Amino acid sequence: MDGLILITTLLSMVFLIVFAISWFEFAKSKEEVRQHIFEISTYKQQRITSANKSFSKNIVNRIFHYADDFSSLGHRINFFSESHDIERLLMQAAYPYNLNVDRFQGTKIVLGIAGFIMGSLLFIIGFPFSQFGLIAFPLAGYMTLIIWLKSKAKARQEELGFVLPDFLDTVSVTLQAGVSLDQAIEEIAPYFDGPVNEEFSRYSQKIKLGVPREMAYRDLLTRNESPEFQLLIKSLIQGSQLGVPVSTTFKLQAEEMRKLKKEKIKEKAAKASPKITLVTTFILMPTAMFLIGGLMIMNMFMGENNMMDLFG
């Protein structure tokens, strides 16, 4: 009996060791398979992403290729897109897709021609109201690029004013630690994404090239129309002329910009309330009344005690 117990115990220990080794190998193989699947999926996703980017890039490059041929015509047909206004908007939008004034003027003509071709095809097919498309589609193609550039410039200026208070707080703390203004801007700007990084990195490069500081400030004022950014740069120019400590200027400007940001948020919230009321009044309420009325009519004519049974 004792020998049977001993053999059973030894076999149990052996089976336990074999189970532990098998489980370890299984877990290791499972992890390898999971890693392999992840690498394949990531590789495919990267290929899809790069393919999509290359496809869109090829379309943009093809449009720009034809746009260069129509740039002179675009300069002559400059409704809502005079060259000096386009140059200002491109500067504020940081020249998206490496657009310049000539290429922009040609691109709007290409899009207008594309709209005319689309409208003509719909007219030939006999699409309803296609006669209006002969005018609407070319006009939409012409105006789309202008509206897109204006929205791009506006969004970039709003982003610049939104991120600026945090940037000023960081620079103010760095200045209080004894670092110079140019060095603080050069070291802190790379930690911020978007227009703050772009504008102040450009400023640092000009200072390194020997451009006078006030001239570099004036260039920042020319490139950007954000009220917060304009207020900051004008304060820096005034502070450099009067000898006001820059760290104090940055701290006060950050507090003032946060107040302006709160006021803008309150203003947007106040503007949203009438819009919600309009949507509720002219869309949701009529739809709800229509559904309720429809259900009442269906119950009157199709219910158990409907009007047809009463008259029948």
User: What is the tens place of the pLDDT at every residue in 34-77?
Assistant: 766 655 554 444 444 444 455 566 777 777 777 888 888 888 88
Tokens 């200072």 correspond to what residue?
207
Residues 178 and 253 in one domain: yes
| Helix ranges (DSSP H) in the chain | 2-67, 71-76, 83-92, 101-125, 130-176, 181-188, 195-208, 213-223, 227-242, 246-279, 285-302, 307-311
Residues 207 and 131 in one domain: no
Give me the pLDDT at residue 18, please. 66
Assess if residue 305 is contained within a domain: no
Is there a contact between 200 and 164 (Cβ–Cβ < 8 Å)?
A: no
pLDDT at 253 over 50: yes
Give me the pLDDT at residue 69, please. 85
**CA–CA separation, 297 and 285 (whole Å):** 18
Instruction: Give me the DSSP letters along 50-101.
Output: HHHHHHHHHHHHHHHHHHGGGHHHHHHS-TT--HHHHHHHHHHTT-GGG--H
Residues 126 and 168 in one domain: no
The average pLDDT across 120-136 equals 84
**CA–CA separation, 64 and 44 (whole Å):** 30
Residues 171 and 198 in one domain: yes
Give, as one character, the DSSP assignment of residue 282. I
Assess if residue 213 is contained within a domain: yes
Task: Give the relative orientation of helices 213-223 and 83-92 as an angle to the nearest 10 degrees.
Answer: 110
Residues 168 and 250 in one domain: yes
* pLDDT tens per residue, range 189-212: 888 888 888 898 889 898 888 888
**CA–CA separation, 110 and 68 (whole Å):** 10
Assess if residue 287 is contained within a domain: no
Give me the pLDDT at residue 140, please. 92
> Which one of 120, 155, 190 terminates a domain?
155
**CA–CA separation, 63 and 104 (whole Å):** 11
Assess if residue 227 is contained within a domain: yes
Around Cβ 312, how many Cβ atoms within 10 Å? 6
Around Cβ 232, how many Cβ atoms within 10 Å? 25
Dig out the tokens for 268 from the structure: 């947007």
Report pTM: 0.67
List C-alpha distances in Å: 256 to 71, 230, 251, 263.
Answer: 44, 13, 9, 11
Domain with 162, as residue range(s), is 158-265
**CA–CA separation, 103 and 83 (whole Å):** 11
Assess if residue 202 is contained within a domain: yes
Residues 85 and 168 in one domain: no
Around Cβ 253, how many Cβ atoms within 10 Å? 22
* pLDDT tens per residue, range 275-305: 777 777 777 778 888 888 877 777 776 655 5
List C-alpha distances in Å: 294 to 97, 270, 281, 289, 300.
Answer: 53, 36, 19, 8, 10
Dig out the tokens for 188 from the structure: 């802190």
**Chain centroid to CA 77:** 30
Dig out the tokens for 255 from the structure: 């507090």
Assess if residue 86 is contained within a domain: yes
**CA–CA separation, 280 and 167 (whole Å):** 41
Give me the pLDDT at residue 50, please. 46
> Which one of 103, 122, 155 terminates a domain?
155
**CA–CA separation, 97 and 37 (whole Å):** 36
Give the alpha-carbon dihedral of 85, 88, 90, 91, to 10 degrees: 170
Number of domains in the chain: 2
Residues 261 and 162 in one domain: yes
Residues 138 and 176 in one domain: no
Q: Name the residue with higher pLDDT: 254 or 311.
A: 254
Residues 162 and 247 in one domain: yes
Tokens 């960081």 correspond to what residue?
170
